[in-house]
Amino acid sequence: MVKYIVPLAIFVIIAAFFAVGLRMNPNYVPSPLVGKQMPTFSLPSVTDPQNLVSSEALAGRVSLVNVWGTWCVECRHEHAFLLELARAGLPIYGLNVRDDRAAAIDWLARLGNPYVSSGFDPEGKAVIDWGVTGAPETFLIGSDGTILHKHISPLTLGIWQRDFVPLLREHCGPADCPFLAALGGR
CA 87 and chain centroid, separation? 18
20 vs 175 by CB, closer to another protein: 20
User: What dihedral do alpha carbons 161, 163, 165, 170 form, nearest 10°?
Assistant: 160
22 vs 102 by CB, closer to another protein: 22
CB atoms within 10 A of CB 80: 12
- Grouping H, G, I as helix, E, B as strand and the rest as coil, residue 39 is coil
The least distance separating another protein from the CB of residue 80, rounded to whole angstroms, comes to 26
Cα(first)–Cα(last) distance of the chain, in Å? 60
The least distance separating another protein from the CB of residue 185, rounded to whole angstroms, comes to 30
Q: Where along the sequence are the contacts to another protein (CB under 8 A)?
A: 1, 4-5, 7-8, 11-12, 14-15, 17-24, 26-33, 98, 123-125, 128-131, 133-134
The least distance separating another protein from the CB of residue 5, rounded to whole angstroms, comes to 5
Q: What's the rounded Cα separation, in Å, for the pair 134 and 125?
A: 12
29 vs 59 by CB, closer to another protein: 29
The least distance separating another protein from the CB of residue 15, rounded to whole angstroms, comes to 6
123 vs 186 by CB, closer to another protein: 123
| CB 46, CB 68: distance < 8 Å | no
19 vs 175 by CB, closer to another protein: 19
- Grouping H, G, I as helix, E, B as strand and the rest as coil, residue 146 is strand
The least distance separating another protein from the CB of residue 30, rounded to whole angstroms, comes to 6
